């Protein structure tokens, strides 16, 4: 596990130092249309004067092999080599997509991530997961490849609209629920009323780093980080396939956390009281994801493609009490559909 994670005002100067090292041939910045407009100007003073800006469309629907081909084409046309550095400036989509492109370009070029959303700062940019969506399935193609550095400046969070900030907060809550009961007990009364995000981000990154260091390639304890994601990814993938109904990743994860907490109760792992605490808190922050009961079976069946599955067994991460996640818990499509019906009734 890399320890090159810089958080706070020193993050961008640390990136500049990395890019100025001897042996770095060229630098490219990958940004989407939003981060190119809102964030690139803050990054530019820390870049070498001669660098390439690669701009791609914003949105999960563009996290595809087609967009990857566009990035690879630009790198190839400008004769980038393996000693060049691709700087990924953006949220979870750019973090996943850019790191994936770097990992495959000429069998691996250097990469640094500058996450600009809360979701990317506490989750997507940490731990070396890369990937793109394929055939409607989230992160279906990807590799594990740690970036040379992750440079987190929480000043970028001021560029986010409230919905984007909430989406990232779902991953913060997930970390508390699987590993820090005290933080959940303290913070659930505060919610999004945060004056300085740096301590929150730093603590959330610490939790994720600790888990990833034990299991970099997700054979065991790292699966804890998928809490909320088995149902969440299925819901997100389904709505992404429906014109005009796509939701943000964190919104899907928040719904998935409630569903998987309910499943934890059904398995005798979590109390009804804890389930109510989780649900009450999340609904105080997130709006309810809209779908109809008739869609629950189709949504649930998408979990059959979840990356944690073994054969036909759907392996889910559940809660054995708040603050203690437990992984490799088998659940059925029918149970997932029931959890979605529970969420729908709330």
Please give the share of the chain, as a percent, with pLDDT higher than 90. 89
Name the burial class of residue 40, with classes exposed (0-12), middle (13-18) and buried (19+) by CB atoms within 10 angstroms of its CB.
Answer: middle
191, pLDDT greater than 80? no
Q: How confident is the model at residue 95 (pLDDT cuts 50, 70, 90)?
A: very high
> CA-to-CA distance for 57 and 88, rounded, in angstroms?
14
Q: What pTM was estimated for this model as a whole?
A: 0.90
Q: What average pLDDT does this structure show over 120-134?
A: 93
Q: Report pLDDT digits (tens) over 4-41.
A: 999 999 999 999 999 999 999 999 999 999 999 999 99
In a 13 Å sphere around the CA of 163, the CA atoms on its Cβ side amount to: 7
User: Which residues fall within 8 angstroms of residue 12, CB to CB, at 6 or more apart?
Assistant: 42, 43, 46, 114, 151, 153
190, pLDDT greater than 90? no
| DSSP-based three-state secondary structure for 189 | coil
Q: Among 30-34, 177-181, 205-209, 242-246, which is the least confidently predicted range?
A: 242-246
- Angle formed at CA 70 by CA 155 and CA 25, multiple of 5 degrees: 70
Q: How confident is the model at residue 80 (pLDDT cuts 50, 70, 90)?
A: very high
For residue 4, CA distances in Å to 112, 127, 200, 227, 286 come to: 10, 11, 19, 26, 33
2, pLDDT greater than 70? no
User: Smallest Cα–Cα separation from 215: which of 73, 51, 337, 325?
Assistant: 325
Q: Report pLDDT digits (tens) over 247-274.
A: 999 999 999 999 999 999 999 999 999 9
Q: How confident is the model at residue 64 (pLDDT cuts 50, 70, 90)?
A: very high
Quick one: pLDDT at residue 3? 54
* Contact between 196 and 202 (Cβ < 8 Å): no
198, pLDDT greater than 70? yes
What are the residue ranges spanned by the domains of the chain?
5-159, 162-345
Q: What is the mean pLDDT of the chain?
A: 94
* Contact between 125 and 158 (Cβ < 8 Å): no
DSSP 102-140: HHHGGG--EEEEEE-SHHIIIIITSS-B--EEETTEEEE
* Contact between 243 and 319 (Cβ < 8 Å): no
218, pLDDT greater than 80? yes
Q: Provide the residue count of the chain.
A: 346
Please give the share of the chain, as a percent, with pLDDT higher than 70. 99
112 DSSP β-pair partners? 87, 149
User: Smallest Cα–Cα separation from 197: which of 7, 4, 6?
Assistant: 7
Quick one: pLDDT at residue 310? 78
Q: How confident is the model at residue 1 (pLDDT cuts 50, 70, 90)?
A: very low
Is the domain covering 5-159 a CATH 3.40.50.10190 domain?
no
What class, spelled out in words, does domain 162-345 have in CATH? mainly alpha
């Amino acid at each position: 596990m890399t320890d090159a994670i810089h958080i706070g005002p020193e993050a961008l100067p640390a990136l500049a130092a990395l890019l100025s090292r001897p042996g770095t041939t060229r630098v490219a910045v990958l940004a989407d249309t939003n981060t190119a407009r809102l964030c690139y100007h803050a990054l530019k003073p820390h870049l070498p004067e001669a660098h390439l800006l690669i701009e791609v469309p914003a949105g999960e629907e563009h996290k595809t092999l087609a967009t990857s081909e566009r990035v690879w084409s630009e790198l190839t046309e400008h004769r980038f080599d393996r000693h060049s550095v691709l700087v990924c400036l953006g949220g979870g989509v750019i973090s996943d997509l850019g790191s994936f492109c770097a990992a495959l370009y000429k069998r691996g070029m250097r990469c640094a991530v500058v996450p600009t959303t809360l979701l990317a700062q506490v989750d997507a940019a940490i731990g070396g997961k890369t990937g793109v969506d394929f055939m409607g399935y989230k992160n279906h193609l990807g590799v594990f490849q740690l970036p040379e550095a992750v440079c987190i400046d929480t000043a970028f969070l001021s560029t986010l609209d409230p919905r984007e900030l909430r989406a990232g907060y779902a991953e913060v809550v997930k970390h508390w629920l699987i590993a820090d009961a005290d933080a959940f007990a303290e913070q659930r009364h505060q919610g999004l009323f945060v004056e300085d995000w740096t301590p929150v981000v730093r603590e959330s990154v610490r939790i994720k780093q600790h888990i990833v260091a034990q299991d970099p390639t997700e054979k065991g304890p790292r699966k804890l980080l998928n809490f909320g994601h088995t149902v969440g990814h299925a819901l997100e993938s389904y709505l992404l396939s429906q014109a005009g109904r796509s939701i943000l990743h964190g919104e899907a994860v928040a719904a998935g956390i409630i569903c998987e907490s309910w499943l934890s109760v059904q398995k005798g792992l979590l109390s009804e009281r804890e389930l109510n605490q989780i649900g009450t808190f999340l609904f105080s922050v997130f709006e309810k994801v809209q779908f109809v009961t008739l869609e629950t079976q189709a949504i649930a069946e998408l979990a059959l493609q979840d990356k944690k599955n073994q054969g036909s067994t759907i392996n889910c991460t559940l809660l054995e009490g708040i603050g203690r996640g437990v992984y490799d818990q088998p659940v059925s499509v029918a149970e997932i559909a029931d959890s979605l019906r529970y969420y729908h009734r709330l």
